[in-house]
């Protein structure tokens, strides 16, 4: 009898976890859709970042870019599937060439080497 109660508790916990993951994926999909609408479409790439989760890197058709973090790879996959964007295996080649950076990004990436902020 104790096993039955334990199994029911586990099923309840699993159901709650699945519902929470589904809500998070839906929220991320909505954000991805908003990004795509603002940038004439979007493509993405998923990058596992450890216990923190998975980064969803987005690149718009206009070269704008951004990212979101999902709590797991499965949630990230669900979100991009719901959003209906193309997902690339790697961030290289033609996909990476679409990214357009501005003065802010260049100064932050270059730091003190080319007269940008010292980042300190």
Say if residue 85's pLDDT is above 60: yes
Task: Work out the average pLDDT over 72-90.
Answer: 96
- What is the tens place of the pLDDT at every residue in 14-44? 889 999 999 999 999 999 999 999 999 999 9
What is the pLDDT at residue 115?
A: 54
- What is the tens place of the pLDDT at every residue in 90-101? 999 889 999 998
What is the pLDDT at residue 4?
A: 73
In the predicted model, what is the mean pLDDT of the chain?
A: 87
What is the pLDDT at residue 112?
A: 54
Helix, strand, coil share (%) of the chain residues, nearest 5: 55, 20, 25
Say if residue 45's pLDDT is above 80: yes
* Kind of pairing between the strands at 86-88 and 42-48: parallel
Buried b vs exposed e over 34-46: b needs ≥16 C-beta within 10 Å? ebbeebeebbbbb
pTM of the model as a whole: 0.78
43-52, 84-93, 94-103: which has the minimum mean pLDDT?
94-103
Dihedral (C-alpha) 47, 42, 22, 73: value to the nearest 10 degrees?
Answer: -10
Order of strands, sheet of 86-88, starting from the edge strand that comes earlier in the sequence = 65-70, 54-60, 42-48, 86-88
Task: Work out the average pLDDT over 39-53.
Answer: 95
């Amino acid at each position: 009898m104790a096993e039955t109660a334990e199994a029911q508790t586990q099923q309840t916990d699993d159901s709650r976890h699945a519902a929470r993951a589904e809500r998070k994926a839906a929220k991320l999909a909505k954000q991805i859709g908003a990004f795509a609408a603002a940038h004439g479409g979007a493509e993405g790439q998923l990058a596992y970042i450890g216990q923190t989760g998975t980064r969803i890197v987005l690149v718009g058709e206009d070269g704008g870019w951004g990212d979101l973090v999902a709590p797991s790879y499965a949630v990230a996959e669900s979100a991009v599937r719901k959003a209906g964007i193309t997902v690339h295996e790697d961030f290289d080649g033609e996909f990476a060439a679409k990214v357009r950076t501005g003065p802010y990004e260049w100064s932050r990436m270059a730091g003190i080497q080319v007269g940008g902020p010292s980042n300190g």
